[in-house]
């Protein structure tokens, strides 16, 4: 990347994710669509037929609120759905049911392991659109995805580097999986990102002044792709600004082949969507006891586990490994081993660095640790034992010099016998070879 002394990055993220629910957002269609044949999970509501009435899915509402609580958002006691108008083949109604003025959740902060604090703007719930499939000159539409419950997380333009943005994306995956409210598999399109990118001068940063434009990169479906796309867009904006030109506010897509972003369409302003309250769905209100009850359901989250492991003396990489949702089995193993008197640090280091230890039962694990703790690894002590044995077997050295390399193994066997198997074989073998070669 170019020398960025003159400009600083301003980056905000919009993250869309599918919730794991039994049925779709506003109809009773089965939401398990990922392996299904096209247009098999559809009804008049999610096909957008005239006169079909939407009924909100309370499971989806609750799961979006749980996510908001986990991210420290305020849960709005009053919330409602709005219509967001735009025309596209995958949206036959001509509008998407989303949330505008009164989202389910507002504000919130997420502290990353790097120490950086992500400031959220809102979390709201909406319906996903159908999927367009382009075949030659034809476009086909699959409505299975239409009406899937979709959560949108909007951050403030708080990111100053790509690394924190990627860490935040991964944090979302970890939290959603820990809460068991979604699968967030990016390959299945269950988690998609959009990045809003602009550059400003250090002086603007000091005044906390945001640039007058932002460029939105849409349809980011992997973190690697996001990194590449954001870097390419920084380069492009940097070269325009350093020539004294201005950057247009627009949507751009990233072409992985050319490694460049390309213009798609001018970005709509909120007023272009002509939002208004969805007349077919009554406003929602949530009382205190409902919200308190949701709060009590939040389990220990990965970043809280991470902090706990650091306090237990684990190195940052070990703490990170142990707090991954997918590694919760190892976390249980770790807690069982610690209760048998092995230090957390020793146990974690073995789990993280020696995969074979992950397969052990806690009992086997502890036995292996105890065994290695009793080993004689001290070089001086081993040297004393080895010299004694070599003195008793003077021909061994001569055999070695005559090319019989297995005489090392012979002496090692004697060492193991004398120490009842406690000598560390690797260190002993090294010492014997050194003595022979001397």
The contact set with Zn ion (CB under 5 A) reads 27, 29, 43, 45-46
Q: Please, are residues 11 and 167 in contact by the beta-carbon 8 Å criterion?
A: no
* Rounded least distance, CB 39 to Zn ion, Å: 11
CA 433 to chain centre: 49
Which residues neighbour 221 within 8 Å (Cβ) at sequence distance 6 or greater? 186, 187, 189, 192, 193
Question: Please, which residue, 39 or 161, has the CB nearer to Zn ion?
Answer: 39
What are the backbone dihedrals phi and psi of residue 133, each rounded to the nearest 5 degrees, phi first?
Answer: -120, 120
Please count the other Cβ atoms lying within 10 Å of the Cβ belonging to residue 289. 8
* Rounded least distance, CB 278 to Zn ion, Å: 17
Beta strand residue intervals within 87-167, DSSP E: 95-98, 105-106, 109-111, 117-127, 131-135, 138-142, 149-155
Question: Please, which residue, 29 or 118, has the CB nearer to Zn ion?
Answer: 29
Rounded distance between C-alpha atoms, residue 217 and residue 392, angstroms: 77
Q: Which residue bears the tokens 């040297």?
A: 383
Question: Please, which residue, 46 or 389, has the CB nearer to Zn ion?
Answer: 46
* Rounded least distance, CB 31 to Zn ion, Å: 9
* Rounded least distance, CB 88 to Zn ion, Å: 19
Tokens linked to 208: 């906390």
* Rounded least distance, CB 98 to Zn ion, Å: 17
Question: Please, which residue, 110 or 148, has the CB nearer to Zn ion?
Answer: 148
Strand order of the sheet with strand 95-98? 95-98, 82-85, 276-277
Question: Please, which residue, 27 or 102, has the CB nearer to Zn ion?
Answer: 27
Q: Please, are residues 19 and 170 in contact by the beta-carbon 8 Å criterion?
A: no
* Rounded least distance, CB 46 to Zn ion, Å: 3
* Rounded least distance, CB 45 to Zn ion, Å: 5
Question: Please, which residue, 29 or 197, has the CB nearer to Zn ion?
Answer: 29
Question: Please, which residue, 28 or 295, has the CB nearer to Zn ion?
Answer: 28
* Rounded least distance, CB 206 to Zn ion, Å: 52
- Which pairs from 411-416 meet CB under 8 Å and 24+ separation? 411/386, 414/389, 415/382, 415/385, 415/386, 415/389
Q: Which residue bears the tokens 């399109």?
A: 189
Q: Where are the alpha helices (DSSP H) in 54-94?
A: 58-70
Question: Please, which residue, 45 or 65, has the CB nearer to Zn ion?
Answer: 45
Rounded distance between C-alpha atoms, residue 195 and residue 231, angstroms: 11
* Rounded least distance, CB 143 to Zn ion, Å: 8
Q: Where are the alpha helices (DSSP H) in 99-161?
A: none
Coil, strand or helix at 281: coil
Coil, strand or helix at 18: strand
Question: Please, which residue, 46 or 230, has the CB nearer to Zn ion?
Answer: 46
HSE (CB half, 13 Å, CA atoms) of 162? 15
* Rounded least distance, CB 55 to Zn ion, Å: 11
Question: Please, which residue, 148 or 386, has the CB nearer to Zn ion?
Answer: 148
CA 360 to chain centre: 28
Question: Please, which residue, 29 or 319, has the CB nearer to Zn ion?
Answer: 29
* Rounded least distance, CB 280 to Zn ion, Å: 15
Q: Which residue bears the tokens 């369409």?
A: 265
Q: Please, are residues 23 and 30 in contact by the beta-carbon 8 Å criterion?
A: yes
Strands 8-18 and 109-111: unpaired
């Amino acid at each position: 990347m170019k020398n960025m002394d003159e400009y600083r990055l301003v980056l905000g993220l919009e993250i869309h994710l599918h919730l794991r629910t039994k049925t779709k957002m506003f109809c009773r269609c089965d939401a398990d669509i990922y392996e299904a044949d096209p247009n098999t999970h559809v009804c008049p509501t999610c096909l957008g037929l005239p006169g079909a009435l939407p009924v909100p899915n309370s499971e989806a509402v609750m799961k979006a609120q749980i996510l908001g609580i986990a991210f420290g958002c305020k849960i709005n006691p009053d919330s409602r759905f709005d219509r967001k108008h735009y025309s596209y083949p995958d949206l036959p109604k001509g509008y998407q049911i989303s949330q505008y003025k009164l989202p389910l959740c507002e504000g919130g902060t997420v502290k990353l392991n790097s120490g950086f604090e992500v400031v959220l703007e809102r979390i709201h719930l909406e319906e996903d659109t159908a999927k367009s499939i382009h075949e030659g000159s034809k476009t086909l539409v699959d409505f299975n995805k239409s009406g899937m419950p979709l959560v949108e997380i909007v951050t403030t333009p708080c990111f100053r580097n790509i690394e924190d943005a990627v860490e935040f994306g991964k944090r979302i995956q970890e939290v959603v999986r820990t809460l068991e409210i979604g699968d967030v598999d990016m390959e299945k399109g269950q988690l998609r990102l959009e990045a809003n990118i602009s550059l400003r001068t250090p002086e603007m940063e000091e005044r906390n002044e945001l640039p007058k434009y932002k460029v939105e990169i849409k349809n980011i479906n992997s973190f690697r792709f996001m990194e590449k796309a954001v870097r390419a867009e920084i380069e492009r904006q940097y070269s325009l600004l350093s020539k004294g030109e201005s950057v247009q506010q627009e949507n751009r897509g990233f072409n992985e082949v050319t490694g460049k972003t390309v213009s798609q369409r001018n970005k709509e302003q909120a007023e272009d969507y002509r939002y208004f309250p969805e007349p077919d769905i009554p406003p929602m209100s949530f009382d205190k006891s409902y919200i308190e009850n949701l709060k009590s359901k939040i389990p220990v989250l990965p970043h809280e586990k991470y902090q706990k492991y650091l306090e237990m003396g684990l190195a940052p990489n070990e703490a990170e490994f142990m707090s991954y949702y997918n590694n919760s089995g190892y976390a249980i193993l770790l807690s069982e081993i610690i209760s048998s008197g092995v230090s957390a640090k020793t146990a974690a280091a073995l789990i993280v660095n020696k995969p074979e230890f992950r397969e052990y039962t806690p009992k086997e694990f502890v036995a292996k640790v105890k065994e290695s703790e009793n080993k004689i690894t001290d070089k001086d002590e081993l040297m004393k034992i080895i010299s004694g044995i070599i003195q008793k077997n003077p021909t061994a050295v001569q055999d070695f010099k005559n090319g019989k390399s297995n005489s090392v193994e012979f002496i090692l066997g004697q060492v193991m016998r004398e120490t009842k198997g406690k000598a560390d074989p690797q260190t002993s073998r090294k010492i014997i070879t050194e003595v022979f070669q001397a």
